[in-house]
Amino acid sequence: MIKKGIILAGGRGTRMSPLTIGINKQLLPIYDKPLIYYPLSVLMLAGIKDILIIVNKGQLTQFKHLLKDGSRFGIKLSYAEQFNPKGLPDAFILGEKFIKKDNIALILGDNFFYGQSLTKKLKKCLNLKSGCKILVHPVNKPELFGIATTNKKRKIVSIKEKPKNSKSNLAITGLYFFDNKAVNYSKSLKPSKRNELEIVDLLNKYKRKNKLSAEYLGRGGAWLDTGSIDDYYNTSNFVSTLENRQGFKIACLEEIAFKNNWINKKEIKDAVGFYGNCNYSNYLKKLIK
């Protein structure tokens, strides 16, 4: 059973420069909320309450000012600084003391997930006892993504990075579920030509042991990577359209915590005071009427 999660919110965000020169990408707004709210909401929807956020050196204060220790969401937030981007598996090396002997979920801080059955799928993934499970989603242009090929038992038989020709169109999203071996496996990886530890190399370690499986986000689910300017604004437009059409908020952390009985009406009122006079506060007020 997975009870801990890591959000990797570091990186230089060079594809979105100059926006990201003065501020961490995960603190930029996706419609009416900071981007970091969205991956954090995914872990909270899964039921994970103990979360480590890895940020760039020198940006810790900004995240703590926004999220503090997580208690106002009924969760526990810890922080770690990454001095230089060293690849996704570096999250397990930096987070070794946080992980201890537990299994762990990892989500990238710039990934967006949405879907009616998302919570159910997430909780299913938390039952992982050994091995690694990744979330995959079909895409129109496999050549732009890391692509997984699966068999009928959802075991992954091959992983290819941006294949020119692929029979599979299942993209590997930025949400992973690992057993505790991920820490030592990550330590044993050698840097690639770009001098980073590669997540594909870590996944292949599990694949060679027949311990790598897939969970499908499914038709009707949405996965968006906000790493480029166009994708970033497309995601913001997606959230804006849904929220204004349907009248509910995506990634409202207080609402998730309230529905999970992690906080009560007093914490909601305190959150209104924290945010001040804004539409987000007005939405919170409706939750406790």
Q: Is the per-residue pLDDT at 202 higher than 80?
A: yes
Written as six digits, the tokens of 252 are 């409202």
Cα separation of 232 and 35, whole Å?
Answer: 10
Written as six digits, the tokens of 280 are 């987000």
| % of the chain surpassing 70 pLDDT | 100
Q: Give the residue-averaged pLDDT of 36-43.
A: 98
pLDDT of residue 22: 84
Answer yes or no: are the C-beta atoms of 24 and 61 closer than 8 Å.
Answer: no
pLDDT, one tens digit per residue, over 87-107 is 999 999 999 999 999 999 999
Cα separation of 89 and 99, whole Å?
Answer: 13
Q: Map out the domains of the chain with their CATH numbers.
A: 4-131+174-251 (3.90.550.10)
Cα separation of 135 and 130, whole Å?
Answer: 16
Cα separation of 33 and 58, whole Å?
Answer: 22
Q: How confident is the model at residue 153 (pLDDT cuts 50, 70, 90)?
A: confident
pLDDT of residue 11: 82
| % of the chain surpassing 90 pLDDT | 83
For β-strands 132-138 and 212-216, DSSP reports them as: parallel
Q: How confident is the model at residue 131 (pLDDT cuts 50, 70, 90)?
A: very high
Q: Give the residue-averaged pLDDT of 159-165.
A: 90
Q: Is the per-residue pLDDT at 84 higher than 90?
A: no
pTM metric for this prediction: 0.95
pLDDT of residue 49: 98
Answer yes or no: are the C-beta atoms of 128 and 177 closer than 8 Å.
Answer: yes
| Helices 118-125 and 37-46: angle between axes, nearest 10 degrees | 70
Q: Give the residue-averaged pLDDT of 228-249.
A: 95
Q: How confident is the model at residue 25 (pLDDT cuts 50, 70, 90)?
A: very high
Q: Is the per-residue pLDDT at 168 higher than 90?
A: yes
pLDDT of residue 219: 79
CA distances from 68 to 53, 100, 135, 239 (A): 11, 23, 29, 25
How many other C-beta atoms lie within 10 A of the C-beta of residue 248?
A: 11
Written as six digits, the tokens of 72 are 């106002």
pLDDT of residue 239: 97
Q: How confident is the model at residue 225 (pLDDT cuts 50, 70, 90)?
A: confident
pLDDT of residue 14: 82
Alpha carbon 110 to chain centroid distance? Answer: 7
DSSP secondary structure letters along the chain = ---EEEEE--S--GGGTTTTTSS-GGGSEETTEETTHHHHHHHHHHT--EEEEEEETT-HHHHHHHHTTSGGGTSEEEEEEESS---TTHHHHHTHHHHTTS-EEEEETTEEEE-TTHHHHHHHHTT--SSEEEEEEE-S-GGGSEEEEE-TTSBEEEEEES-SS-S--EEEEEEEEE-THHHHHHHTPPP-TTSS--HHHHHHHHHHTT-EEEEE--TT-EEEE--SHHHHHHHHHHHHHHHHHHS--SS-HHHHHHHTTSS-HHHHHHHHHHH-SSHHHHHHHHHT-
For β-strands 132-138 and 170-178, DSSP reports them as: antiparallel
Q: Is the per-residue pLDDT at 12 higher than 80?
A: no
Q: Give the residue-averaged pLDDT of 153-163.
A: 89
